[in-house]
Amino acid sequence: ESMPSNRRVVGPAESQPPPGVSHKPTVAVTLVDAEGCRSDGRSIDEIRPMYMKAGVVSRANGSAYLEMKHTKVICAVYGPRDVGRREEFSMKGKLSCDFRFLPFSCKIRRTPGQDAEHKDISSRLVQTFESVVCLDRFPKAQVDICVNVLQDDGNAFSAAVTCASAALADAGVEMFDIVTGCSAKLVGERILLDPTLDEEQHTAVEAEQGSVSSGLLTICLMPSRNEVAYISLHGEVDADTLVKATRSCSDGCIRVHEVVRQSLVQSVLQRQKHSQTKR
């Protein structure tokens, strides 16, 4: 018989993954119970409680922190700053976005650095804000938007759009309106507003059997102008359900807009009070 190597550490015969890390495949679950309540106790048209604070990063021109229960996002805005001489001349300003899920933000730890998903979401954020920011107000200049997800429990892109919009407003960047985002999980005729991560990833029992359609709708709205800045749909749903979901998401964006507005007003009042104290 061969002797065991002294250089190897013999592991236990049986082991279990650490808490919060699961390698099991997604299990089909029922998203809404018989009483019409979701797993976290909300109704299908209810968004999670929100907390927002602007001006949280002292060294940035503008910043904001957004918390939607277990989804937490922070954003910092730098600029407008001069573009390097090597860049082509343009009478319109430029937007740059760096979106990242921090390594500890997800149930399964992510590798540090920017991967393909980060680049895709960063590109979608630039696409959204190019129609919102008045780029002609700062020619030959660039605004950098840095978004970090501290904890992801669903609806991360919509939260990033809302947080970045508040940070841009806090930085004094001129926009046509404050844009807010909201998503909905569509399962058959059911529309689950502001879904959690489990609701986004898990499939209802009926959808697993192929008897109903399933999808995820995301809308970013400028409420004061009643204009859509961004819209995306993943999955297949019927037209009537899509129309109803669009209205539900638009209503959710309006509700989120009120929270952002109050946060920005409070931030301005605090700055005024701080400047008067210095005098």
| Token pair 């844009």: residue | 179
Determine the Cα angle at 69 with ends 173 and 71, to 5°: 60
Per DSSP, what are the bridge partners of residue 94? 142
pTM: 0.84
pLDDT at 23 over 50: no
Provide the phi-psi class of 235: left if phi over 0, else alpha when psi is between -120 and 50, else beta.
left
Residue scoring higher pLDDT (87 or 23): 87
Residue 252: count of CB within 10 angstroms of its CB: 24
CB neighbour list of residue 63: distance below 8 Å, 6 or more residues apart: 54, 55, 56, 57, 74, 75, 76, 77, 167, 170, 171
Q: What is the mean pLDDT of residues 40-66?
A: 93
Angle separating helix axes 116-130 and 156-170, nearest 10 degrees: 50
pLDDT tens for 142-187 read 999 999 999 999 999 999 999 999 999 999 999 999 999 999 999 8
Provide mean pLDDT across the span 91-115.
Answer: 88
DSSP lists the bridge partners of residue 51 as: 67
Strand 141-151 with 94-101, pairing: parallel
Q: How far is CA 16 from CA 22, 103, 110, 177, 273, in A?
A: 10, 21, 20, 50, 54
CA-closest candidate to residue 257, choices 151, 175, 154, 146: 175
What's the pLDDT at 177? 94
pLDDT at 111: 81
Q: Tell me which residue has tokens 């129609």.
A: 131
68 burial via Cβ count (<10 Å: 0-12, 13-18, 19+): buried
Contact assessment for residue 36 and residue 190, using Cβ atoms and an 8 Å cutoff? no
Alpha carbon 203 to chain centroid, angstroms: 21
